[in-house]
Amino acid sequence: MADNHPLDDSNAKKPLARKLFGWLKQLAFMLVLLTVFSAVLDVWRGRDVPKEQIPNIQALSIQGEPIDLKAMGQDEPVLLYFWGSWCPVCSFVSPSVNMAAKQYQVVTVAMTSGTDEKMLQYLQHKGYDFTVVNDPRGELSSEWSMQVTPTLLVIKQGKVAFYTSGFTSLPGIWWRMLLA
C-alpha cells in the first residue's frame, strides 16, 4: 500500500514541460486580458479627445523650431506626445519617444512643467533630443482635452490615427507609427 502523505504535491510529479506549458497558458491569458483592459481604458480616457477636427499646434518649440502639426502630418505620420517633467510614468515612456524621434516626426507638449529654461535644462539632463512645445499653463492640453499623462497620439492627414495613454513601449510606438 502506498504511503499517501497529506502534504504530497501531485504537481511535483508532473513533468517540467507540462508545468511550463501551464504557466505559459496563464501568462498568455493574462496578456490578452491586460491588452483588452488597456484598450477599453484608452477608449474611455480618449472619449473627449478630438479625433476628426483636431486643434492645430502652430508654435515655436523651445529649441527654436517652427511647428505646424497639421502641415507636418499631411504626408507622414507625426507622433504627438503629451507629457510632464513631474509625471513618474513619463520617465519610463520618454526614453522610447526619444528613440522614436530618431526615425519619425515627433512633437511633444510639456504640460505644466515650468519655464522654457527649466525645460531645456531638464531635456539636457535627461539626454532627450525630441522637439518640445512648452505648455506652462496647460492651454494646449486643454484644447486637446488632455487629462492623463503620458498620452500619445499618431496624427496623419489632420486626424488622430491612434491614441493611447499611460505606459507605452517602444515597440508599441513603432507599431502605431507603421500602421498609420
At residue 17, the pLDDT reads: 79
Predicted confidence band of residue 164 (pLDDT cuts 50, 70, 90): confident
- The three three-digit cell numbers of residue 6, written as one number: 497529506
How far apart CA 110 and CA 135 sit, in angstroms, is 6
Do the bridges between strand 58-60 and strand 78-83 make them parallel or antiparallel, or are there none, so unpaired?
unpaired
Structure confidence by residue, pLDDT tens digits, 96-109: 999 999 999 999 99
Q: Measure CA of the first residue to CA of the last residue in the chain; give whole Å.
A: 68
Concatenated DSSP letters of 80-100: EEEE-TT-TTHHHHHHHHHHH
Predicted confidence band of residue 167 (pLDDT cuts 50, 70, 90): confident
Asked if residue 97 lies in contact with residue 108, where contact means CB atoms within 8 angstroms, the answer is yes
How far apart CA 24 and CA 6 sit, in angstroms, is 28
Check pLDDT > 80 for residue 170. yes
Write 57-65 long-range contacts (CB < 8 A, 24+). Answer: 57/107, 57/109, 57/133, 57/140, 59/133, 59/140, 60/133, 61/107, 61/131, 61/132, 61/133, 62/116, 62/119, 62/120, 62/123, 62/132, 62/133, 62/134, 63/120, 63/131, 63/132, 65/131
Structure confidence by residue, pLDDT tens digits, 84-98: 999 999 999 999 999
Predicted confidence band of residue 40 (pLDDT cuts 50, 70, 90): low
* pTM for the structure as a whole: 0.75
Rounded to the nearest 10 degrees, what angle do helices 90-100 and 170-179 cross at?
Answer: 50
Which residue is it, cell 476628426?
Answer: 52
